[in-house]
Chains A and B, each alone.
Chain A
Amino acid sequence: DAGITQSPRYKITETGRQVTLMCHQTWSHSYMFWYRQDLGHGLRLIYYSAAADITDKGEVPDGYVVSRSKTENFPLTLESATRSQTSVYFCASNYGGVYNEQFFGPGTRLTVL
Protein backbone atom coordinates (compact mmCIF):
# COMPACT_ATOMS: atom_id res chain seq x y z
CA ASP A 1 0.00 0.00 0.00
CA ALA A 2 1.20 3.49 -0.79
CA GLY A 3 1.89 5.71 2.15
CA ILE A 4 4.34 6.56 4.84
CA THR A 5 5.17 4.15 7.62
CA GLN A 6 7.20 4.36 10.78
CA SER A 7 8.72 1.66 12.91
CA PRO A 8 8.65 0.85 15.69
CA ARG A 9 5.41 2.46 16.80
CA TYR A 10 6.43 2.26 20.45
CA LYS A 11 9.87 2.02 21.96
CA ILE A 12 11.19 2.04 25.50
CA THR A 13 14.91 2.39 25.96
CA GLU A 14 17.41 3.41 28.60
CA THR A 15 19.58 6.47 28.91
CA GLY A 16 22.77 6.17 26.90
CA ARG A 17 21.53 3.57 24.43
CA GLN A 18 21.47 4.09 20.69
CA VAL A 19 18.04 4.02 19.10
CA THR A 20 17.06 4.19 15.43
CA LEU A 21 13.61 5.15 14.27
CA MET A 22 12.69 4.12 10.76
CA CYS A 23 10.64 5.96 8.18
CA HIS A 24 9.61 4.65 4.77
CA GLN A 25 7.48 6.30 2.08
CA THR A 26 6.20 4.90 -1.18
CA TRP A 27 5.26 8.12 -2.99
CA SER A 28 8.79 8.90 -4.25
CA HIS A 29 8.56 12.24 -2.50
CA SER A 30 11.82 14.11 -2.71
CA TYR A 31 11.51 15.76 0.71
CA MET A 32 11.37 13.99 4.03
CA PHE A 33 11.18 15.41 7.53
CA TRP A 34 11.50 14.38 11.16
CA TYR A 35 9.56 16.19 13.87
CA ARG A 36 9.17 15.71 17.56
CA GLN A 37 5.95 16.52 19.37
CA ASP A 38 6.03 17.64 22.96
CA LEU A 39 3.29 19.11 25.08
CA GLY A 40 3.26 22.88 24.80
CA HIS A 41 5.65 22.95 21.85
CA GLY A 42 3.61 21.64 18.98
CA LEU A 43 5.77 19.92 16.38
CA ARG A 44 9.38 20.94 16.05
CA LEU A 45 11.56 20.07 13.08
CA ILE A 46 14.61 17.96 13.88
CA TYR A 47 16.11 17.26 10.46
CA TYR A 48 14.96 17.26 6.89
CA SER A 49 16.20 15.96 3.57
CA ALA A 50 15.68 17.39 0.08
CA ALA A 51 16.84 14.23 -1.71
CA ALA A 52 18.99 11.17 -1.22
CA ASP A 53 22.31 12.10 0.40
CA ILE A 54 21.12 15.67 1.12
CA THR A 55 20.16 16.44 4.70
CA ASP A 56 19.96 19.59 6.80
CA LYS A 57 19.30 20.59 10.38
CA GLY A 58 16.00 21.85 11.62
CA GLU A 59 15.11 23.65 14.81
CA VAL A 60 16.20 21.00 17.36
CA PRO A 61 18.91 18.76 15.81
CA ASP A 62 21.18 18.21 18.83
CA GLY A 63 21.51 14.59 19.85
CA TYR A 64 20.13 13.24 16.57
CA VAL A 65 21.70 11.88 13.40
CA VAL A 66 20.02 11.19 10.06
CA SER A 67 20.97 9.60 6.79
CA ARG A 68 19.25 9.13 3.49
CA SER A 69 20.92 6.67 1.17
CA LYS A 70 17.65 5.84 -0.63
CA THR A 71 14.85 8.21 -1.55
CA GLU A 72 12.22 6.16 0.25
CA ASN A 73 13.96 5.79 3.61
CA PHE A 74 14.91 8.38 6.21
CA PRO A 75 16.09 6.86 9.49
CA LEU A 76 16.57 8.96 12.61
CA THR A 77 19.18 7.85 15.14
CA LEU A 78 19.55 8.92 18.73
CA GLU A 79 23.20 8.13 19.32
CA SER A 80 23.02 8.24 23.11
CA ALA A 81 19.45 8.63 24.26
CA THR A 82 18.59 11.06 27.05
CA ARG A 83 15.40 11.45 29.07
CA SER A 84 14.74 14.78 27.35
CA GLN A 85 14.36 12.88 24.10
CA THR A 86 11.26 11.15 25.39
CA SER A 87 8.70 12.30 22.86
CA VAL A 88 6.47 11.34 19.97
CA TYR A 89 8.37 11.39 16.70
CA PHE A 90 6.69 12.00 13.37
CA CYS A 91 8.13 11.46 9.95
CA ALA A 92 6.66 13.35 7.00
CA SER A 93 7.24 13.71 3.29
CA ASN A 94 6.23 15.85 0.31
CA TYR A 95 7.38 17.03 -3.11
CA GLY A 96 8.94 20.15 -1.61
CA GLY A 97 8.04 23.69 -2.45
CA VAL A 98 6.02 26.18 -0.48
CA TYR A 99 2.68 24.93 -1.81
CA ASN A 100 2.62 21.27 -0.95
CA GLU A 101 1.25 19.88 2.26
CA GLN A 102 3.24 17.33 4.16
CA PHE A 103 2.01 13.78 4.63
CA PHE A 104 2.70 12.38 8.04
CA GLY A 105 3.45 8.91 9.30
CA PRO A 106 1.58 7.46 12.30
CA GLY A 107 4.29 8.46 14.78
CA THR A 108 6.66 6.63 17.12
CA ARG A 109 6.23 7.04 20.85
CA LEU A 110 9.68 6.86 22.42
CA THR A 111 10.27 6.64 26.15
CA VAL A 112 13.78 7.00 27.53
CA LEU A 113 14.12 5.74 31.10
Chain B
Amino acid sequence: AQKVTQAQTEISVVEKEDVTLDCVYETRDTTYYLFWYKQPPSGELVFLIRRNSFDEQNEISGRYSWNFQKSTSSFNFTITASQVVDSAVYFCALNYNQGGKLIFGQGTELSVKP
Protein backbone atom coordinates (compact mmCIF):
# COMPACT_ATOMS: atom_id res chain seq x y z
CA ALA B 1 0.00 0.00 0.00
CA GLN B 2 1.07 3.55 -0.63
CA LYS B 3 1.30 5.74 2.42
CA VAL B 4 2.86 8.95 3.66
CA THR B 5 3.44 9.56 7.35
CA GLN B 6 4.23 12.87 8.98
CA ALA B 7 4.59 11.88 12.60
CA GLN B 8 4.99 15.43 13.90
CA THR B 9 1.53 16.91 14.22
CA GLU B 10 2.66 20.26 15.62
CA ILE B 11 6.04 21.92 16.05
CA SER B 12 6.67 25.19 17.81
CA VAL B 13 9.98 27.03 17.54
CA VAL B 14 11.33 30.47 18.25
CA GLU B 15 12.38 32.66 15.37
CA LYS B 16 15.89 31.94 14.00
CA GLU B 17 15.85 28.35 15.17
CA ASP B 18 16.39 25.60 12.63
CA VAL B 19 13.58 23.10 12.29
CA THR B 20 13.21 19.79 10.46
CA LEU B 21 9.90 18.37 9.32
CA ASP B 22 9.90 14.61 8.90
CA CYS B 23 8.25 12.66 6.10
CA VAL B 24 8.31 8.89 5.71
CA TYR B 25 6.70 7.16 2.77
CA GLU B 26 5.78 3.67 1.67
CA THR B 27 5.47 2.44 -1.88
CA ARG B 28 6.33 -0.65 -3.86
CA ASP B 29 6.78 1.30 -7.07
CA THR B 30 10.30 2.03 -8.27
CA THR B 31 9.27 5.22 -10.06
CA TYR B 32 7.62 7.86 -7.96
CA TYR B 33 7.81 11.50 -7.02
CA LEU B 34 7.68 13.17 -3.66
CA PHE B 35 6.35 16.66 -3.06
CA TRP B 36 6.17 19.24 -0.33
CA TYR B 37 3.36 21.77 -0.12
CA LYS B 38 2.90 24.69 2.23
CA GLN B 39 -0.48 25.83 3.53
CA PRO B 40 -0.19 29.24 5.21
CA PRO B 41 -2.93 30.56 7.51
CA SER B 42 -4.69 32.04 4.47
CA GLY B 43 -5.50 28.47 3.43
CA GLU B 44 -4.15 28.06 -0.07
CA LEU B 45 -1.80 25.21 -0.95
CA VAL B 46 1.54 26.25 -2.36
CA PHE B 47 3.87 23.85 -4.16
CA LEU B 48 7.42 23.92 -2.75
CA ILE B 49 9.43 21.13 -4.31
CA ARG B 50 9.34 17.78 -6.11
CA ARG B 51 11.92 14.99 -6.03
CA ASN B 52 11.98 11.87 -8.17
CA SER B 53 12.85 8.42 -6.89
CA PHE B 54 16.09 8.25 -8.85
CA ASP B 55 17.56 11.49 -7.59
CA GLU B 56 18.88 11.39 -4.05
CA GLN B 57 20.73 14.67 -4.23
CA ASN B 58 19.83 17.09 -1.51
CA GLU B 59 18.12 20.27 -2.60
CA ILE B 60 18.70 23.73 -1.16
CA SER B 61 16.65 26.79 -1.92
CA GLY B 62 17.50 29.76 0.24
CA ARG B 63 16.63 28.84 3.83
CA TYR B 64 14.89 25.66 2.73
CA SER B 65 16.59 22.32 2.19
CA TRP B 66 15.36 18.84 1.53
CA ASN B 67 17.03 15.53 2.34
CA PHE B 68 15.84 12.50 0.36
CA GLN B 69 17.04 9.07 1.53
CA LYS B 70 15.66 6.02 -0.21
CA SER B 71 17.35 3.72 2.30
CA THR B 72 15.07 5.05 5.04
CA SER B 73 12.16 6.04 2.75
CA SER B 74 12.34 9.57 4.04
CA PHE B 75 12.09 13.01 2.48
CA ASN B 76 12.72 15.49 5.26
CA PHE B 77 12.41 19.25 5.02
CA THR B 78 14.60 21.65 6.98
CA ILE B 79 14.05 25.36 7.45
CA THR B 80 17.18 27.21 8.54
CA ALA B 81 16.86 30.35 10.65
CA SER B 82 13.07 30.12 10.76
CA GLN B 83 10.93 33.22 10.44
CA VAL B 84 7.41 34.03 11.57
CA VAL B 85 6.29 33.92 7.93
CA ASP B 86 7.24 30.22 7.87
CA SER B 87 4.31 29.49 10.18
CA ALA B 88 2.06 27.16 8.19
CA VAL B 89 0.93 23.60 7.77
CA TYR B 90 3.37 21.63 5.64
CA PHE B 91 2.32 18.58 3.68
CA CYS B 92 4.44 15.86 2.20
CA ALA B 93 2.89 13.92 -0.70
CA LEU B 94 3.64 10.92 -2.90
CA ASN B 95 2.78 10.43 -6.57
CA TYR B 96 3.35 6.90 -7.79
CA ASN B 97 1.23 6.44 -10.91
CA GLN B 98 0.55 8.08 -14.23
CA GLY B 99 -2.79 9.36 -13.09
CA GLY B 100 -1.12 12.17 -11.21
CA LYS B 101 -2.87 11.33 -7.99
CA LEU B 102 -1.24 12.49 -4.79
CA ILE B 103 -1.24 10.72 -1.46
CA PHE B 104 -0.78 13.24 1.31
CA GLY B 105 0.61 12.91 4.79
CA GLN B 106 -1.42 14.26 7.68
CA GLY B 107 0.50 17.52 7.71
CA THR B 108 2.75 19.20 10.26
CA GLU B 109 1.67 22.52 11.71
CA LEU B 110 4.70 24.72 12.25
CA SER B 111 4.42 27.70 14.53
CA VAL B 112 7.32 30.14 14.58
CA LYS B 113 7.14 32.58 17.46
CA PRO B 114 8.94 35.93 17.49
Contact = CB atoms under 8 A, between A and B. Distances in A.
Interface of A: 31, 33, 35, 40-45, 48, 50, 56, 58, 88, 90, 92, 94-104, 106-107
A104 B44 contact: yes
Nearest to A103: B47
Contacts of A103: 47
Contacts of B98: 96-98
Tell me whether chain B's interface is mostly helix, strand or loop, or mixed.
loop
Nearest to A56: B99
Contact of A98 (B9, B37, B100): B100
A41 B3 CA distance: 12
A40 B101 contact: no
Given A43-B91, A98-B32, A88 B101 contact: no
A101 B74 CA distance: 19
Tell me whether chain A's interface is mostly helix, strand or loop, or mixed.
strand
A35 B107 CA distance: 14
A41 B9 CA distance: 11
A107 B43 contact: yes
Given A101-B35, A101-B50, A104-B44, A48 B107 contact: no
B33 interface: yes
A50 B97 CA distance: 13
